[in-house]
Structure formats: C-alpha cells, structure tokens
C-alpha cells in the first residue's frame, strides 16, 4: 500500500456522496440503476445525458422529491452523514426550472424571500428575515425596486436570479439545478449560469447542453439508460470522451431537427426504456465498439488516471 499523501495534497472530503442510488417504478424497471458519485466542495458537477437517461430522477432523489410511487434505495451522505428529511430543501436546495411557476404571483419578490427565510429559520425576527432576503437578492444583482416588484413585472432572467437567491437562503451545502436556464435566451443563460457558479455553492447541474458543460462545469457525469457511463473533468471528457455513448454525443452532428444549436446532439437509435436491456450494457445495441460480453455483463465504473471513471471495459485502455 502506498503511504497516504500529505494532508496538503489530499483532496478535500466530498460534500455529498451518493452511493448505489436506484429509483424503480412498480411495473416498470429501474429508471436509475446503481448510480454513485460525489460532489466536491465548491464544484459544479454537470449531469448530462439524453432524454429519459434518469438525470431528473437522480437530482430529485437528492431532494426527496421523486414521485410518490417511486421506490428509492441507496445512500446519500452530506459531509459523511446520512441525509435526513430536515436536510431536504434546507442543506440541499433546489433551483427550480420555471421561475414563474416557482414564485407566487400575488406576493412581492422580496416578501417571498423573507417568508422563505423565516420558514428556514423560524427564530428569525421579521426584520432579520427581510434583511437576509435583501442580502440574497443583492448578491444576485437585484435591487430594492426589483425586490418590491411582483414576479410578472421582472424579466425571465431577473426572475431566475430571484429563485437562485431563494435557493441560496440559509447557505445550503448543495444546490441542485435541473435545467435551470432552458427558458432563457442564450446570453441571459450564460449570465445566470455564471451567477450560479459565483455563489461558490456546490452544485449538481442537470443539463442537456454540452456548451453549458463546457462553459460552466468543473466535472461531468454522463448518464445513459439510468447508469453513469463516464465521469471526469468536464474539459477532458468532452475533448477525449472514452465511453462510446459520450463519444457519440460529442461527435454527433446536430440535425435540422435539433431544436437549438447547442442542445444535445442526436445519437442515432432509440434510448432504452427503464430497466432495459435486462442484461449487459444498455448502450450495446447502439454501440459501434460492442463485443459479445457487452450484451451479457453490466460494465462496472472503473477508475482511470486523470480523475476519470469509465463503465466500458472495451475502451478502458485506448
Ligand atoms: N412517475 C413515473 N412513472 C414511471 N416512469 C417514470 C416516472 N417518472 C419518470 N419515469 C421514467 O424514468 C426515466 C427517467 O426519467 P427522468 O425524468 O429522470 O429523465 P431525464 O434524464 O431527466 O430526461 P429529460 O432530459 O427528458 O428531462 C424515463 O424513462 C421516464 O419515463
Ligand atoms: Mg429531466
């Protein structure tokens, strides 16, 4: 056994550790299958993959927000301790996708944040709750006039800033943002993502958009068929993808049918249904590298040099 590295070079312990997370629905198979990953302090981890890959279910499982019929198993730890229901929405906080739906139309933005601050910490005085709302709004560049406005009077970008401010109230350990900018124009989107990053929070960012991964994530976890196919530093994975699915994703040319230039390119073939295939690697039916063993054995996620992980024995040593 090599000796432990000196403390100064040892990576900081993760903020969040997800181990063997599974989400299954009665009558359907597992939509999320043995998903394990960590979030390191202050990093943005992008969770990427095509529609139905299990990204939202994974994100929602961290918040205890999976559909009632879902059976969720696995372990989620915050700073090494199992997550409790008190942590949900408090130490792990959601940045909603649709700011208009997330904010009440009949209350001023500042009042809503003050109420949210009070519900997070009922010991606060009204004055303290209001001050903490004002500070949170100011930190995302919204002033007192915008705090006094009703949500419909703000632009989409301003509203999204307000919901980010709301999510950061109470200084959560982890922000979970599921496609937080899909409704916004590309330039506003970049600004909002920059803002999310500038909060210094540890973020799980679910996205379809490889440009978002490239520009705003430290690491990426690529999901396919409910499993993680590959993880690693965002730039390295996009530049030198190892999982055949990631390679197809990065190399695929957007078609005329791709709704937006920077949206996830289309990989030929159909995505698997939850629980499919019953054996082997879920990508094997669409994979140019597939060997016989790929159709029978589910590949384990193996550590590679360069802080990477890969679930593909065929591409482990290329
Ligand atoms: N309530 C449910 N009952 C049965 N199956 C469900 C339910 N909710 C989600 N699923 C299935 O779980 C799979 C993963 O869903 P999820 O919403 O996590 O996908 P996603 O990766 O977020 O996709 P998208 O990019 O379209 O948002 C999908 O195949 C979906 O059909
Ligand atoms: Mg989703």
Q: What is the pLDDT of residue 79?
A: 95
For the chain, the structural domain boundaries read: 12-91+174-274, 102-171
Give the residue-averaged pLDDT of 13-36: 95
Provide the 10 A C-beta neighbour count for residue 72: 16
Q: What is the pLDDT of residue 255?
A: 38
Mutate which of 21, 27, 35, 53 to test ligand 1's pocket (most atoms within 8 Å of Cβ)? Answer: 53
- To the nearest whole percent, how much of the chain has pLDDT over 70? 92
Q: Is the CB of 167 under 6 A from ligand 1?
A: no
Give the residue-averaged pLDDT of 248-258: 58
Q: What are phi and psi of 286, to 5 degrees?
A: -110, 5
| Spatial CB neighbours of 16, under 8 Å, sequence gap ≥ 6 | 38, 39, 62, 76, 77, 78, 92, 173, 174, 202, 204
pLDDT in tens, 134-189: 999 998 999 999 999 999 999 999 999 999 999 999 889 999 999 988 878 888 88
On average, the pLDDT of the chain sits at: 89
Q: Is the CB of 157 under 6 A from ligand 1?
A: no
How far, in Å, CA of 43 to CA of 89, rounded?
19
| Spatial CB neighbours of 36, under 8 Å, sequence gap ≥ 6 | 18, 19, 20, 21, 228, 301
Q: What is the pLDDT of residue 272?
A: 87
Q: What are phi and psi of 204, to 5 degrees?
A: -100, 115
**pLDDT for 8 beyond 80:** no
From the CA of 60, how far away is ligand 2's center (Å)? Answer: 9
**pLDDT for 285 beyond 70:** yes
Q: How confident is the model at residue 9 (pLDDT cuts 50, 70, 90)?
A: low
Q: Is the CB of 52 under 6 A from ligand 1?
A: yes
Using DSSP's 3-state secondary structure scheme, residue 266 falls into coil
**pLDDT for 47 beyond 90:** yes
Q: Is the CB of 310 under 6 A from ligand 1?
A: no
Q: What is the pLDDT of residue 98?
A: 86
Residue pair 210/65 in contact by the 8 Å Cβ criterion: no
Closest CA to 116 of 155, 186, 158, 167: 167
pLDDT in tens, 51-106: 999 999 999 999 999 999 999 999 999 999 999 888 887 899 999 888 889 999 99
Class of domain 12-91+174-274: alpha beta
Q: What is the pLDDT of residue 265?
A: 56
């Amino acid at each position: 056994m090599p000796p432990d590295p000196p403390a100064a070079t040892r990576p900081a312990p993760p903020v969040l550790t997800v181990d063997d997370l599974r989400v299954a629905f009665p009558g359907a198979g597992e939509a999320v299958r043995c998903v394990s990953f960590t979030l390191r302090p202050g990093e943005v981890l992008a969770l990427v993959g095509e529609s139905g890959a299990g990204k939202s279910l994974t994100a929602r499982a961290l918040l205890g927000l999976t559909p009632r019929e879902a059976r969720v198993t696995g372990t989620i730890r915050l700073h090494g301790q199992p997550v409790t229901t008190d942590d949900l929405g408090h130490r792990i906080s959601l940045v909603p996708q649709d700011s208009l739906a997330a904010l009440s139309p009949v209350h001023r933005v500042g009042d809503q944040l003050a109420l949210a601050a009070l519900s997070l910490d009922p010991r606060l005085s009204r004055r303290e709750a209001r001050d903490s709302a004002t500070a949170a709004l100011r930190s995302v560049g919204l002033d007192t006039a915008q705090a006094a406005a009703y949500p419909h009077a703000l632009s989409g970008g301003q509203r999204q800033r307000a919901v980010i401010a709301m999510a950061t109230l109470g200084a959560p350990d982890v922000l979970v943002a599921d496609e937080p900018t899909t409704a916004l124009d590309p330039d506003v989107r970049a600004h909002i993502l920059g803002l999310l990053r500038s909060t210094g929070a540890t973020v799980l960012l679910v996205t379809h958009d490889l440009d978002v991964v490239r520009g705003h994530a430290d690491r990426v976890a690529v999901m396919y068929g409910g499993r993680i196919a590959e993880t690693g530093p965002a730039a390295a994975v996009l530049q030198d993808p190892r999982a055949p699915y990631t390679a197809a994703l990065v190399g695929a040319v957007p078609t005329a049918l791709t709704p937006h230039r920077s949206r996830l390119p289309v990989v030929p073939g159909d995505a698997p249904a939850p629980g499919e295939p019953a054996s082997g690697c879920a990508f094997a039916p669409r994979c140019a590298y597939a060997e016989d063993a790929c159709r029978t054995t589910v590949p384990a996620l193996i550590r590679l040099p360069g802080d990477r992980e890969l679930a593909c024995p065929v591409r482990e040593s290329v």
